[in-house]
Chains A and B, each alone.
Chain A
Amino acid sequence: MAGQSIVLRNNQPVALTEIPRLSLDAFRAWTVSQVEAGKRLAVLCCFPQIHGFLLCAVLADDANGWLELAGAEAAQEFPSLTPQCVQAQLFEREIFETYGLRPVDHPWLKPVRFPCASHHPNHKIGEMDYFQVEGPEVHEVAVGPVHAGVIEPGHFRFQCHGERVFHLEISLGYQHRGVMQALLQASESQRRHLMETAAGDATAGHTTAYCNALDALAGRQAPARAHAIRGIALEFERIACHIGDLGAMAGDVGFLPTQAYCGRIRGAALNMTAAICGNRFSRGLIRPGGVAYDLDDAIIRHLLERLEAVRADAVSAIELLWITPSVLERFERTGVVSKEIAEEIGLVGPAARACGLNRDVRHDFARGIYQFQQIPIASVESGDVYGRAMVRWLELLRSMTFVREMLLALPDSKIMSEPGAMKPESIVVSLVEGWRGEICHIAVTDAQGELSGYKIIDPSFHNWFGLACALRDEAISDFPLCNKSFNLSYCGFDL
């Protein structure tokens, strides 16, 4: 395969000229063969050039911890990868909707986000052809965009036979705020705030991915202490969200003790982040070159105390789930995604690890503090709601141990490195394991070393389709439970 792609590490910048430019057919053949060989399509995207577009595919080789990048130049269309490679289907729809670059022979080019400047002829939100099942007694249930709870908007359509779901179609775009369009015109500080709210419950994840990408392009290394604090913020985010979701899953099966306790404990976890930077969602903490807030001895002592209290409360609240038959009965064998399906559609994060796929950026593509302090991967085989709940529980225990070790042995250094100019005409891929899974950012610079292209892929982009698969042949009444076991981001998808 020599010459067809370039091998990269996470956060390793390369000159744009080093990306092999394949013919469109060779690009498709190479990408399809790599995915067939077991690699994962982390990104398929395109960047506008002076003439036409540069298509880029990034394949993740999780086992070896490297990325392979290949490119192809396209003018108006390219042969669709989707008929041979399911993982490409959403990326190709996004490319067409955003740039009008048509994937020829794509089976169904549905809208993705319904942006104002869409290349679809009809782009009014929600107006599209939906998947439909016909037959006697088959009926359709449409839900959203506004849901009954305090959650983000999205539209779900179920094709049902009685209670049984044949198919769930998830149609999003209601949260589309124009993040990607605004990024390139924004100042550095504005860009960072856009990253912080790209998916606001994964602020540390997206901001770390952004800052790691910029640092790599500028050839600057955040000091060790800053990497440790970024890691602590990232794990606090994971701890808070996993606790909150386990509580909400308990609520969805009507087990109120764990629901009531976890809602409160989640807040206590968010307050630990606030002790570092004043904001419960780590806003303003992570910046290019390092972090903005240091931890003094008093804060470290405070955090260690709070962490122990959160651990004790979380253990007492969440372990009730595993000994309560009425909970287990609802969790087990509900919303199953098989390992084969998970692999085929390219699931990431806890949803993938619940299907027995051992993929975790902190392990496979370790950067920053994770190069020095390893977190064991938590995975189970069952692929059901129980599996996703158990993976989250194991992860949050391990994250708490990790944070404790970090706090007890925080590297002694500055928290901000010297600024540097970004390399011109370069590209970098930046992966971070957010609490939902792999957050991927790609940054491209122009001849002046300014950002000329940027791409954000939230883990939800890969995983929404997994939720649809989990609902196949399930009872429609289990949808809230299945949904919460994934708890994907609407705004991180819609951007």
Chain B
Amino acid sequence: MLFEILKARFQQGHQTTAYPAGPPPQLSERFAGMPAIERSACHSCDGICAGLCPSRAIQRDAAGAVALDMGRCLFCNECAEACPKDAIRFTSQYQLAAAKREDLITDGVNADARLALNERAARLYGRSFALRVVSAGGCGACEADVNVLTTLTWDIGRFGLHYAASPRHADGLLLIGPVPENMAFAVKETYDAIPAPKFVIAVGACAISGGMYADHPECHAGRRPIIPIDLHIPGCPPHPLTILDGLLRFLGRISEE
């Protein structure tokens, strides 16, 4: 049996990504990351994209120029498929996180990966950060891609990051899901149980804005937030690389561009 275990160990090889010191893992060619919008093309358009967007992530100003709210975006690519001028596309840029909610509203042109940094968090928890993960209406996808960071591909323990089983042992709360009414109390209680100073990371469109559930009377995230949010990691769900990148930038563990 010991021999079989050793044989399996040999078969599995070394799998941990070299990122961030080395290159990140190869993403699918069809991966939809940071949007890039050619706004000059929008002026002579009736804006079919805004009406089509299932989570109403696309906003148009008076001149017709389009901005995309990544906090609501599902990265479903339907706007890009429908755009008659090919003015919207989703690039392969996986760095999407931002500390301020308004920095998620973008045409993609001025996107800056440094927007995720929180100097106070970096100073306090840059070398060790324990998170209490709370799923509140999450569908299981964000949970899976948050959980996968503990596996040996990503191994967040390398960075002093870990998920704590109790809020009393945590420095922050990682929130998933649109926070249904039935979880509002539990989310607040968990947040209150974490000793200060503490930070909240919202992972996924639901936790940031309510996503598809933003207008449901049952859900709180977005319109009636229960707790303040310090870092937004967009996506539906965000790729594990996007989540890890966001956490590391938030803590000042990646600074060079």
B52 within 8 A of A: yes
Interchain CB contact under 8 A, B5 and A317:
no
Interchain CB contact under 8 A, B140 and A261:
no
Determine the distance from Cα of A192 to Cα of B236 in the docked complex, in whole angstroms.
14
**What residues of B have a CB within 8 angstroms of the CB of A261 in the complex?**
8, 12, 152
A-B contact count (CB 8 A): 189
Interchain CB contact under 8 A, B180 and A266:
no
A114 within 8 A of B: yes
Interchain CB contact under 8 A, A264 and B15:
yes
**What residues of A have a CB within 8 angstroms of the CB of B166 in the complex?**
148
Which of A189, A293, A317, A320 interacts with B30 by CB under 8 Å?
A293
Which of A203, A264, A274 interacts with B31 by CB under 8 Å?
A274
Total interface residues in chain A, CB < 8 Å: 68
Which of A113, A198, A257, A323 interacts with B139 by CB under 8 Å?
A198
Interchain CB contact under 8 A, A489 and B30:
no
Closest chain A residue to B32 by CB distance?
Answer: A278
**What residues of A have a CB within 8 angstroms of the CB of B180 in the complex?**
174-178, 494
Chain A nearest CB: distance from B6 CB in Å?
Answer: 10
**What residues of B have a CB within 8 angstroms of the CB of A278 in the complex?**
28-32, 77
**What residues of A have a CB within 8 angstroms of the CB of B74 in the complex?**
193, 283
Interchain CB contact under 8 A, A320 and B4:
yes
Interchain CB contact under 8 A, A320 and B212:
no
B11 within 8 A of A: yes
Known: A263-B150, A264-B152, A274-B31. Contact between A324 and B140, CB under 8 A? no
Q: Tell me the chain B residues, 79-119 only, with Cβ under 8 Å from chain A.
A: 81
Binary A-proximity of B143-178 (CB < 8 A = 1, otherwise 0): 111111011110000000001011000000000011
Question: Chain B, interface size: which category?
Answer: 35 or more
**What residues of B have a CB within 8 angstroms of the CB of A317 in the complex?**
8, 12
Binary B-proximity of A140-171 (CB < 8 A = 1, otherwise 0): 00000110111111000000000000000000
Closest chain B residue to A278 by CB distance?
Answer: B30
Closest chain B residue to A263 by CB distance?
Answer: B151
Determine the distance from Cα of A278 to Cα of B74 in the docked complex, in whole angstroms.
12
Q: Tell me the chain A residues, 114-151 only, with Cβ under 8 Å from chain B.
A: 114-116, 125, 145-146, 148-151
Closest chain A residue to B149 by CB distance?
Answer: A150
Chain B nearest CB: distance from A305 CB in Å?
Answer: 13
Interchain CB contact under 8 A, A115 and B4:
no
B136 within 8 A of A: yes
Q: Tell me the chain A residues, 342-399 only, with Cβ under 8 Å from chain B.
A: none
Which of A145, A192, A277, A491 interacts with B138 by CB under 8 Å?
A491
Known: A278-B30, A312-B11. Contact between A194 and B183, CB under 8 A? no
A187 within 8 A of B: yes
A interface residues (Cβ-Cβ under 8 A, vs B): 113-116, 125, 145-146, 148-153, 173-178, 181-182, 187, 189-190, 192-194, 197-203, 244, 257, 260-261, 263-264, 266-267, 270-271, 274-281, 283-284, 292-293, 312-313, 316-317, 319-320, 323-325, 489, 491, 494
10 A–B contact pairs at CB < 8 A?
A146-B186, A149-B165, A150-B135, A174-B182, A175-B135, A176-B182, A190-B54, A190-B212, A284-B77, A284-B78
